[in-house]
Amino acid sequence: MQLLIIAVLCFALTPGRHQAQSWQQFSSIEGKFSASMPAEPTVGSMSTNTKDGIVLTHTVSSSDDNLNEFMVSWTEYKSSEFEKRGTEATFGKIRDALVAANHGKVVSESAISAGSHPARALTISKSDGRIIAVRFYFVGNRFYQVMAQTKPENTGDVERFFESFSFMPGTLV
């Protein structure tokens, strides 16, 4: 799972996609979520070979004129028991992999509310001064990452992004 997270980060948070600043609502029926993003998002997917077989990770990402990146990704697993992997130990491994991949340090970390589903919020500062704020959710047989990578002065956009993110009705049952 650590390699999957690192791969998603490299794919979705690569600087260079310059887009106009015009926040718009994006909804994904397949992803079962909606979120506001600074521009028309890029939609993609990638497959990863795991010990349980190949899994497909879907990404929806958008960047603004300042190369701040906003992304939602989800991976659907075959096991209906997958949500039980959302333990403190798993969240710790995910955090450690993200910190190592970005040569960063943890600024804050906390449990957050996602109904009765395991979820965490994490903020990391990178050595180049950028901030990565991320929310991880284990919901049923899916793992969601909701992430923003920004310059420190753009925390308002980070809050705007996270406040706009919501699961579609019936997803958190």
Residues for the chain: how many in total? 173
Are the C-beta atoms of residues 145 and 73 closer than 8 Å to each other?
yes
Six-digit token pair at 117? 């589903």
- Tell me the per-residue pLDDT of 30-85, one tens digit each, with 9 for 90 and over: 999 999 999 999 999 999 998 878 999 999 999 998 889 999 999 999 888 889 99
- Tell me the per-residue pLDDT of 95-123, one tens digit each, with 9 for 90 and over: 999 999 999 999 999 999 899 999 999 99
Rounded to whole angstroms, how far apart are CA atoms 81 and 155?
36
- Is residue 172 included in any domain, yes or no? no
- Is residue 160 included in any domain, yes or no? yes
- Tell me the per-residue pLDDT of 119-136, one tens digit each, with 9 for 90 and over: 999 999 999 999 999 999
Q: Supply the pTM of this predicted model.
A: 0.85
Q: What is the CATH number of the domain that holds 94?
A: 3.40.1000.10
- Is residue 147 included in any domain, yes or no? yes
Q: State how many domains the chain has.
A: 1
Residue 12, SS3 per DSSP: helix
Are the C-beta atoms of residues 39 and 33 closer than 8 Å to each other?
no
Domain that holds residue 6: 2-167
Rg (CA), the chain: 15
Six-digit token pair at 79? 């096991």
